[in-house]
Amino acid sequence: SSGLAWVDSGIFQGISGIVICSNAILIGLETDLDSALWFYVDQLLLCFFAFELLVRLLRHGMQFFQNEEDGMWNFFDFAIVCSGVFDQWALPILEKIGIFGSSASHHKEDSEENNSGGSTSVYFL
């Protein structure tokens, strides 16, 4: 895939590193600052990570996972991005069309009735 040679460039690697570091900082900020904007920030970051993974897979194919130095990290990256895509994009669609019941929302309603206002959220990515 010579058309995707830019995937291995220092510039793309640097941009990816900056986005990863920014994501870590933003996760910390999300825990302290309440804002409706976080949803959109998370979606934008997931779009970037999904794009990055896709172009790397297109560039390297299965070698992406078989690289001696980075193979395990690449598999880990693949698993994290796929779990984010499933959690943020696929699961809401599957719940909306009725394939998965929204047991989490039923559980949340039940716990809010029995709880004095506290709630717990789980965030991916």
Encode pLDDT of 42-88 as tens digits.
999 999 999 999 999 999 999 999 999 999 999 999 999 999 999 99
**Closest CA relative to residue 125, chosen from 30, 56, 58:** 30
pLDDT tens track for 4-20: 999 999 999 999 999 99
Q: How far apart are CA 69 and CA 81, in angstroms?
A: 20
Residue 48 burial class via C-beta count within 10 angstroms: exposed 0-12, middle 13-18, buried 19 and up:
middle
- Measured CA to CA in angstroms, residue 8 lies from 45, 48, 59 at distances of 20, 16, 9
- Measured CA to CA in angstroms, residue 120 lies from 37, 61, 115, 123 at distances of 19, 39, 11, 10
Mean pLDDT of 15-32: 97
Give pLDDT, residue 102.
Answer: 59
Give pLDDT, residue 100.
Answer: 80
Give pLDDT, residue 120.
Answer: 45
